[in-house]
Structure 1
Amino acid sequence: MRIYLPATWPMLERMVSTGTFEPLGGTAFALTPKLRESYVAGDDEELEYAAMSEAARASLRLLSVEIGLGETSTPVRRVVVAADTDDVTLRPDLDDGAVRVTGAIGMEKIAAVHVDLPEAEHAVGEAAGAIDKADLGDLDAEFLVGEAEDHDLAWYAPSEVAFLVQLG
């Protein structure tokens, strides 16, 4: 099963240095039966994109915490790590596509990494500051989140991630 793990730049740096990805709280997103049921139409590729988008929104929540803690030395970009594993548990108590993974994900299971380009940093920073209000229904905050979500995430092969981190 392809899973999408929300992350931040420091988490990506740790993955490069340790060779494993540690999912925060074990939370990931995937094309689950519940996610499939929540869409009237759409092929697997479109539904996988929906799961990845949920992980990108969760990345905004992680960035919000980092920014709140004063983390200013790393790029303000959404990061989603895609991995292939069948070691997941469905999470019907959370979003339709939420799953739980146990333990670290080794580099051999990483399929790709999706990261915002530098030109998205301003919009992503604004969205990270507004994500909590957006979650509570504030329309202005939702607009800011939408501005960040208008930026497509770039795709990187696992072999390119170390170079990406080095470039910052």
Structure 2
Amino acid sequence: MRVYLPCTLPALARAVTTGELGPAPLTGFAVTPALVEWYVSGDTEELEYVALMEAARASLRMLAADKADGFAAPARRVVVAAEVPDATTLVSPDLDDRGRVRVLESVPLAKLASVHIDDLSAQEDVTAAIIALPAADEGDDDAQFTVDGADAHELLWYATQEIPDLLT
């Protein structure tokens, strides 16, 4: 199963050092039956894009958590696409979590298919989205507009052999 795992640049650097994304369990996003039912008109490529964007939103939350903890991570959303055995993946039974899955084992770097990351030009909007996230969660429409502004930036695709270059 192709799973999109939310990440940050520091977490990706740790994965390179340890040789795997982990520790398990990991939250990811994939084309699940609930996602297919919700987005009934979409083909596989469109459904994978929806899962990727859900992972990008989760990456934004990881960046917000790092900021709240006083950890300075670059304001760039990161999503890692990996091929994970179906047997190690639990699909959320909650229909509101349409594409959410739990990966029960750490993911070796050899299982990574690609990395998706914000361009440097997105940092200002991502930073604004991180700041606005708590108010957006409280229902503030203006804050939600700011958070959605980060989604307007397409994540760039990188091959796994380019990971060291992304970290320098």
TM-score interval w.r.t. the shorter chain? over 0.9
The SS at the match of 2:128 is: helix
State how far apart, in whole Å, the 1-side matches of 2:30 and 2:137 are: 20
Number of residue pairs aligned between Structure 1 and Structure 2:
165
Aligned to 1:41: 41
Distance 2:20 2:40 in 1: 37
Structure 2: gaps of 5 or more residues: none
TM-score, with structure 1 as normaliser:
0.92
The AA in structure 1 aligned to 2:69 is L
Moved over 4 A (4+): none
Q: CA deviation at 1:9?
A: 1.3
Structure 1: how far apart are the matches of 2:141 and 2:23?
30
Q: What pairs with 1:1-168 in structure 2 (closer than 5 Å)?
A: 1-22=1-22, 25-72=25-72, 74-85=73-84, 86=86, 87-93=88-94, 95-166=97-168
- The alpha carbon displacement at 1:57 in A equals 0.3
Question: Pairwise CA RMSD of aligned residues?
Answer: 1.4
Identity level (%): 49
Output the CA distance in 2 between the equivalents of 1:82 and 1:137: 31
Structure 1 residues without counterparts, runs of 5 or longer: none
3-state secondary structure, aligned to 2:123: helix
Structure 1 residue 23 displacement after superposition: 6.0
How far did residue 135 of structure 1 move?
Answer: 3.1
Query: Secondary structure at 2:70's aligned position in 1?
Result: coil
